[in-house]
Structure 1
Amino acid sequence: MEEKKFDVNSIIGFVLIFGILIFMFYQNQPTPEEVEAEKAKQEQIDVKKVDENAETETVINQVPQLDLRDSTAVANYQGKLGAFGFTKPSNATTILENEVLLLEISNKGGQIVEAKMKNFVTYDSIPVYLVKDGNASFGLDFSTSDNRVLNTQDLYFEPTLTNSNGNQVLSLKAKTANNQYLEYRYEMKPNDYLVDFTIKSKGLDNVISDNKPVKLDWKLKAIRHSKSIQYENRYTRLTYNHEDDKLSKLSEGSDDEETEENIKWISYRQHFFSSILAADEPFKSGQLTSVNLVEEESRTFGFTKEYASALPLEVEAGEISKDLHWYFGPTDVEILTQYEDLGLVDSIPFGWGIFGWINRYVFTPFYSLISTYFPYGIAIVIMTILVRLAMSPVTYKSYLSQAKMKVLKPEITEMGEKFKDNAMKKQQETMKLYGKAGVSPMSGCIPAVIQMPIFYALFMFFPTSFALRQKSFLWADDLSSFDTIYQFPEGFSIPFYGDHVSLFPILASIAIFFYMMMTTGQNMPTQPGMPNMKFIMYLMPFMMLFFFNNYASGLSLYYFVSNMITIGIMLIIKNFILDNDKIHAQIQENKKKPKKENKFQKKMREMMEQAESNKKK
């Protein structure tokens, strides 16, 4: 390494340069006469600036009245503002802000250019934005009386911000005269995600054509908020209320378009957050479009779907008047229930039919109550225990039926050997044996049928419950999303499995495997020429491992705990409640009793006897 030395020549050079600079400043020092002349010149400049500021203030306070039909006049107006420093009037915005929501509204077009959730962040700790950086647009298309077409997104509005009873009121007017204008009126209440929005025109009957409708155009590209864009996109969907509270949705996985009537509200749902436009009086019709932007999993792509709505507004005597509402906020049942008169809570994907009813009125309030007193992960465990205990009588009936079938298995095997060449007769005798013994082979299926609505309701509850969003438990960072114990290198993914390994699905699959071994797996029949049903049943947990790997970790946690509890209940029933000898004795007693047939059983017996008779003939 080269040793640093003291360089005398460099120091001498710096000293000489410094001396030269001081000499130049001294030589260029102004004389007293020059100082007085400069002072007088500065006073003249200050007077001129005062005059210019007065002229600028006049222009601002007395905005020239524009003819909306005259694009040249609009351009000239912009140019005049530019002469006084306002070269980009479109950048002028007004902020509406309360405790939970911030809206930035542009003078150009009078539209919302930023909507920020103040109390929520994305998976990577960035504030949640529903509108930002031009991802949304809103405007009215209308024809003028001289057959020109205008879009309000190209017009400039005058803002007036006031306070009314504690509410912030922003009036934006695009004027042709003081008493002739198109107005957008926003009213924001404290601590509220809903903003009242009114569209109204005055004195424009000579401008707006009555022959052609005014079209409201609202577009939005849904911004990504979750670590998995495919997972988030699965629950990102356009939902709408139409035709007397009928709920419909556009496709979640492909491009879709519909034309509907009597639309009350439109929800651009972005999984846990929604942008909703609601009307006091329904739109008579509307064309709704959803375009899927996600083709594969990506760690960088920023958007999920692109939405568009075209809604005609009625024009009466050349004037427009429409009372609307904007909602920018969480897709949360506790918040959306507050707007019962608009029915916005129906935009939450609870599920279809009875499944949605169970989710909305049973699991959602039940879990909310438990999570009030316990951590969110523990609340899932407690809820699982209570649900399984409530279902324990069904579990008991199911296991009792299996025990009876196990006791009868030797007789059924013997009967199969006896009538191995006559399948019809074998079926008849088997049904008679079941009838005498008081055993129903279908009773083992009843628990599965009963639990199906619960399964589907929970399947929708965990991924869509806002209460679980970003709530951690053990190694899971977010119970509403999948947990990750290992992330594959970027660009590597296992088909149908994903680019990560989740632990909760592994535990759930193991529990399901042992549960099936204790129930259907051991009694599953195998027949020549038939697939190995035991193999199929054991394959199912493996398939569930793939299925649950990309679903909410809360769901996997529930099924792991649920199956472990079920296994425990079944072991208790087997070892401490049921006695196979007593079951066998009871079956023998049942055989001695005369069995009365109901109409269905009688009909089935007659049909089988008739089939046997026809076979002999």
Structure 2
Amino acid sequence: MDIGSFFQTLLTPIKWVIEAILVGFHWLLSEVFGLDPAAGLTWVLSIVGLVLLVRALLIPIFVRQIKSQRKMLEVAPQLKKIQDKYKGKKDQFSREAMQRETMELYRKAGTSPFSSCLPLLIQMPIFFSLFSVLNEAKPQPDGSFKAGVGLLTQQLSEQFGSASLFGIAPLRFSIQSSLEANPVNWVVVIIAAVMVVIMTASQFVTQLQIMAKNQSPEMKESPMYRQQRILLYILPLVFAFSGFAFPIGVMFYWLTSNIWTMVQQFLVIRNMPTPGSEAALAREARLAKKARRKMGDDAAALEEAAAEETKKTTTQRQQPVGKARAKKSGGAKR
């Protein structure tokens, strides 16, 4: 068995789940909302639905990632001490001792530098499974279409493999295959290029807001921060190169996932910032301002209630005396 067949075998269970979710959203959009089952827009929205469901299911893992990053922040000063302790020592014994002490530090803290990559590692098999599903849903040499491994029947595979966005941009086409086509499909090239630009920009903004606003001074001194600085410029290049070969159907998955990540990261930085970071100071300022505003509103409400009570008391004391009562009162005095 070659490597390609081995990975296909590993991805088969994930492909089955991907097909089930994809077909489920496709049925919902076509049967319930009345969209054309063969239209490219229907399949694109099905892919978007797949992304939203997968990312929603990954929220608990993302929360665990945040907690792990908090613990990494706590051990950052101790990690730096270990690195300073073995700084300049390149012998085998020193390297092994440094590695042991570092792993022991992570073990006691209950964290790992790899835990922050867990959501990405889980998404990659899903991404490649979708790529495989879309890549296999294409005309065979005899013109027929191959059914998927699960609920993607031959008929649905034909619809999926033949679907085109706007009727002129096949979802199975990439920039590479579009340029190789005769004539060149410039619509796919333009759509894919725009998507690559948006994906690159969204990833850059996501990484930049983490580094600019959600890093404490201790974190900026750690090796992890330097790695993030490198990723800030490497990941956009990954999108630029991979966008050349991936079908636009798969790129819709990647684009939607990137936008989800950007919005999710914005909400996390705003509401759960790293202690000591710029975002944490901004949140404390917002909460303090909100508290002052609330205290001001409460004080104004108390003043208004006190004024109303004073007004009622004054009105009761100054009630006018009736004529009969006044006459009676005057006669009694005489």
If the length of structure 1 is used for normalisation, what is the TM-score?
A: 0.31
If the length of structure 2 is used for normalisation, what is the TM-score?
A: 0.54
Give distance in 1, aligned partners of 2:168 and 2:196.
Answer: 12
1:478 equivalenced with 2:173 (yes/no): no
Give distance in 2, aligned partners of 1:400 and 1:371.
Answer: 36
Q: Is the 8 A contact 1:509 1:544 kept in 2?
A: yes
Give distance in 2, aligned partners of 1:475 and 1:550.
Answer: 21
After superposition, the CA RMSD in angstroms is 4.3
- Distance of aligned partners of 1:539 and 1:449 in 2 relative to their CA distance in 1, 3 Å threshold: closer
- Distance of aligned partners of 1:515 and 1:562 in 2 relative to their CA distance in 1, 3 Å threshold: same
Give aligned pairs, total.
Answer: 226
Q: Is the 8 A contact 2:192 2:243 kept in 1?
A: no
Give distance in 1, aligned partners of 2:109 and 2:68.
Answer: 11
Corresponding residue SS for 2:114:
helix
Give distance in 2, aligned partners of 1:408 and 1:475.
Answer: 55
The one-letter code sitting in structure 2 at the alignment partner of 1:367 is L
Q: How does 1:242-281 map to 2 (within 5 A)?
A: none
Corresponding residue SS for 1:441:
coil
1:568 equivalenced with 2:263 (yes/no): yes
The one-letter code sitting in structure 2 at the alignment partner of 1:541 is P
The one-letter code sitting in structure 2 at the alignment partner of 1:550 is A
Q: Is the 8 A contact 1:515 1:567 kept in 2?
A: yes
Q: Is the 8 A contact 1:511 1:564 kept in 2?
A: yes
Q: Choose from 128, 135, 138 the match for 1:463.
A: 135
The one-letter code sitting in structure 2 at the alignment partner of 1:442 is F
From the CA coordinates, give the structure whose radius of gyration is larger. 1
Please, which runs of 5 or more residues in structure 2 have no aligned partner?
30-34, 36-41, 138-156, 277-334
Tell me the CA shift for residue 553 of structure 1: 0.5
Give distance in 2, aligned partners of 1:439 and 1:577.
Answer: 19
- Higher strand proportion (structure 1 or 2): 1
Equivalence for 1:415: 82
- Distance of aligned partners of 1:449 and 1:462 in 2 relative to their CA distance in 1, 3 Å threshold: same
Equivalence for 1:382: 49
Equivalence for 1:547: 242
Corresponding residue SS for 1:469:
helix
Equivalence for 1:362: 17
Q: Is the 8 A contact 1:381 1:561 kept in 2?
A: yes
1:406 equivalenced with 2:62 (yes/no): no
1:505 equivalenced with 2:205 (yes/no): no
- Distance of aligned partners of 1:574 and 1:404 in 2 relative to their CA distance in 1, 3 Å threshold: farther
Q: Is the 8 A contact 1:463 1:480 kept in 2?
A: yes
Corresponding residue SS for 1:363:
helix
Give a deviation string over 1:416-446, Cα, whole Å, max 9, x none: 2244245444434433332333323332233
The one-letter code sitting in structure 2 at the alignment partner of 1:444 is S
Q: Is the 8 A contact 1:507 1:560 kept in 2?
A: yes
The one-letter code sitting in structure 1 at the alignment partner of 2:133 is F
Tell me the CA shift for residue 555 of structure 1: 0.7
Give a deviation string over 1:314-357, Cα, whole Å, max 9, x none: xxxxxxxxxxxxxxxxxxxxxxxxxxxxxxxxxxx9x7123122
The one-letter code sitting in structure 2 at the alignment partner of 1:396 is V
Give distance in 2, aligned partners of 1:450 and 1:362.
Answer: 14
Q: Is the 8 A contact 1:512 1:563 kept in 2?
A: yes
Q: Is the 8 A contact 2:11 2:125 kept in 1?
A: yes
- Distance of aligned partners of 1:461 and 1:507 in 2 relative to their CA distance in 1, 3 Å threshold: farther
Give distance in 1, aligned partners of 2:272 and 2:228.
Answer: 30
Tell me the CA shift for residue 499 of structure 1: 11
The one-letter code sitting in structure 2 at the alignment partner of 1:453 is P
Tell me the CA shift for residue 520 of structure 1: 9.3
Tell me the CA shift for residue 560 of structure 1: 0.8
Q: Choose from 26, 32, 55 the match for 1:371.
A: 26
Equivalence for 1:353: 9
Give distance in 1, aligned partners of 2:132 and 2:236.
Answer: 20
Tell me the CA shift for residue 568 of structure 1: 2.0
How many percent identity over aligned positions?
A: 22
Tell me the CA shift for residue 401 of structure 1: 1.4
Corresponding residue SS for 2:173:
coil
Q: Is the 8 A contact 1:419 1:426 kept in 2?
A: yes
Q: How does 1:239-318 map to 2 (within 5 A)?
A: none
Tell me the CA shift for residue 577 of structure 1: 4.3
Q: How does 1:49-448 map to 2 (within 5 A)?
A: 352-359=8-15, 361-372=16-27, 373=29, 375-420=42-87, 421=89, 422-448=94-120
Give distance in 2, aligned partners of 1:510 and 1:470.
Answer: 30
- Distance of aligned partners of 1:458 and 1:514 in 2 relative to their CA distance in 1, 3 Å threshold: farther
- Distance of aligned partners of 1:520 and 1:399 in 2 relative to their CA distance in 1, 3 Å threshold: farther
Equivalence for 1:23: none
Tell me the CA shift for residue 542 of structure 1: 1.4
- Distance of aligned partners of 1:468 and 1:513 in 2 relative to their CA distance in 1, 3 Å threshold: farther
